[in-house]
Amino acid sequence: MKTILVVDDETKIVRLARDYLEHAGFTVVTTATGRDALAAARQARPDLIVLDLGLPDLDGLDVTRTLRKESNVPIIMLTARGDESDKLVGLELGADDYLTKPFSPKELVARVRAVLRRTETAQSSPGQEIIRVAELSLDLPRMRATLSERLIDLTPTEFELLAALAAQPGRIFTRAQLLDAVHGVAFESYERAIDAHIKNIRRKLEPNPRQPRYILTVYGVGYKFADE
């Protein structure tokens, strides 16, 4: 049984999220502050975190930043903020998805299942287990990425996107095709969400993210992994 950590200071939202997630078969742990969220993440070691950005002590972005120094646990952000930049910053910090309040609890359950499925698909796939292209090696069952023997610390979403691109060097992927590669999670801002994830992968992978060698932009279309 998967454990979900729900972090929000609004009691009604926590109760609603907990009820629907428990009904869907998850174990749910809840906290109301950022500091408690970090403590709970370290102690309970959840399989996924639902994290509100507007917390009373540590901002949700600060919590995400700290979590990403310690683990790649999947994160779905909750936000009532209309500012698109907050969502993009969260994605660039390593969050996997976001929902804007008010949201449907059924959609929350669907998003949780979709994000968790990313970590399970590679392990259950009977096909190719290792992708090697240029200096990059992707171990699919272990979700482990190395570049010239250097470990690249990727979130599950980042790993799936990189694997989709690296499996077919030279093929141009539209943003819609890349969304489908990570099981079609319905971001509210499709292109900018994919762009945020690509930017994050480049920051970790590329020697010079401003002049990428591996993940290339095809203007007006999408992205491709460089031909060998």
Average pLDDT, integer, range 105-130: 74
Question: Taking the model in full, what pTM does it have?
Answer: 0.69
pLDDT above 60: residue 187:
no
Specify the higher pLDDT residue, 165 or 182: 165
The whole-number average pLDDT for the span 138-162 is: 90
Sorted by sequence, the CB contacts under 8 Å of residue 204 that are 6+ apart come out as 152, 153, 154, 158
In this model, does residue 124 exceed pLDDT 60? no
Residue 183's pLDDT is what?
A: 57
Radius of gyration of the chain (CA): 17
CA dist., res. 161 & res. 60, Å (int): 24
| 104 Cβ contact list (under 8 Å, min separation 6) | none
Q: What is the pLDDT of residue 188?
A: 47
Closest CA to 49 of 209, 192, 156: 156
Instruction: Check pLDDT > 60 for residue 207.
Output: yes
Tell me the domains of the chain and their CATH numbers.
Answer: 3-120 (3.40.50.2300), 125-225 (1.10.10.10)
Determine the pLDDT at residue 90: 81
- Which among 136, 169, 156 is positioned nearest to 200, based on CA atoms? 156
Per-residue pLDDT for 122 more than 50?
Answer: no
Q: What are phi and psi of 204, to 5 degrees?
A: -85, -30
Q: Which pLDDT score, from 0 to 100, does residue 199 have?
A: 92
Stretch 115-138: mean pLDDT, rounded?
73
What does the pLDDT read at residue 186? 47
Query: Can you give the length of the chain in residues?
Result: 228
**pLDDT at residue 54 tops 50:** yes
Share of the chain above pLDDT 70, in %: 89
